[in-house]
Amino acid sequence: MKKQLRVSSILPTTFLSTGLLSSLLLLPSISSANEQEQAAQEASPWAGSAELGFIQTSGNSDTQSFNGKFNLVHELEPNTTSLKLEALTSEEDGTSSKEKYLAELKYDYAVSDRSYVASFLGYEDDRFNGYEYQSTIAVGYGYKAWNDKEKGKLELEVGPGFRRNVLEQRNEDNEKIEEEAVGRASLNLLVNIGEGAKFTEVLSVEGGDSKIVYKSDMGIQSTLVGALAMKINYQVKHTTDVPEGKKNTDSLVGVTLVYSF
């Protein structure tokens, strides 16, 4: 009887000890798996964001506006490739008042920690600016004047290029296609101004014999929750010479939701 009691009292203790030992043995493998998963995420060469803004008003006038953006970056030293897509549409009382599509592709090849070869290809289709489309290709020198992972960055680029625009109607010289060599300079600034908040500015100047085009894209972004943020954006484009009846300056103020991945 005493032996049975002793055995029954030992068994639970043995099972408990075995369970604890098994758990302790599993901890390193679980920790290692988590570390490997985290390292894989950190090492991913892909990054990007998607923005969406929509405004609808009704009453004396019915207005609908849509603003969407998509950015994708693939960085694998010494190569960095980035894609930027934008779409803007607006209707008032059922009539289209704004329709614009933009695509930009950049490829950078690093030659040192700060210097890189920068290439740019841009395409813009604005249905209300007098052009069927506008396009630019440029290759030049890029320099990372400031690059701090925690505080921000400043990138400067300059180089020659070529511009090709197709007019909706022929100009005073009876030409519909504008082609010329250009010089292009750009600035890309990002400043982390607080926890989950940042300021961005992308500025470019593109000049040729016929005209100079200035573009500015300024934004302030603040994290709402997780990967979701809100962004206030101000865009300006100024062209020194435009088709007859068109304005030299276009501007846009928008508020969008941003999802980063």
Phi, psi angles (nearest 5°) of residue 117: -90, 125
* C-beta neighbour count of 196 within 10 angstroms: 12
Residue 20 pLDDT class (50, 70, 90 cuts) = very low
| Whether residues 155 and 196 fall in one domain | yes
Q: Is the pLDDT of residue 26 over 90?
A: no
Evaluate whether 121 touches 137 at the Cβ level (below 8 Å).
Answer: yes
| Whether residues 155 and 220 fall in one domain | yes
| Whether residues 23 and 66 fall in one domain | no
- Is the bond leading into 12 cis (omega within 30 degrees of zero)? no
| Whether residues 169 and 56 fall in one domain | yes
Average pLDDT value for residue range 180-185 = 98
Half-sphere exposure of 194 (CA within 13 A, CB side): 5
| Whether residues 69 and 119 fall in one domain | yes
| Whether residues 24 and 135 fall in one domain | no
Instruction: Give the per-residue pLDDT at 13.
Output: 47
Please count the structural domains in the chain. Answer: 2
| Whether residues 166 and 39 fall in one domain | no
- Count of residues making up the chain: 261
pLDDT in tens, 190-230: 999 999 999 999 999 999 999 999 999 999 999 999 999 99
Element (H, E) at 153: strand 152-167
| Whether residues 110 and 3 fall in one domain | no
Q: Is the pLDDT of residue 10 over 50?
A: no
| Whether residues 4 and 125 fall in one domain | no
CATH of the domain at 240: 2.40.160.40
| Whether residues 77 and 35 fall in one domain | no
Average pLDDT value for residue range 71-90 = 97
Average pLDDT value for residue range 2-10 = 44
| Whether residues 12 and 79 fall in one domain | no
Query: What is the domain extent for residue 139?
Result: 45-260
CA nearest to 138, candidates 127, 116, 155, 122: 122
pLDDT in tens, 88-118: 999 988 899 899 999 999 999 999 999 999 9
Residue 48 burial by Cβ neighbours in a 10 Å radius (0-12, 13-18, 19+)? middle
Residue 51 pLDDT class (50, 70, 90 cuts) = very high
| Whether residues 20 and 102 fall in one domain | no
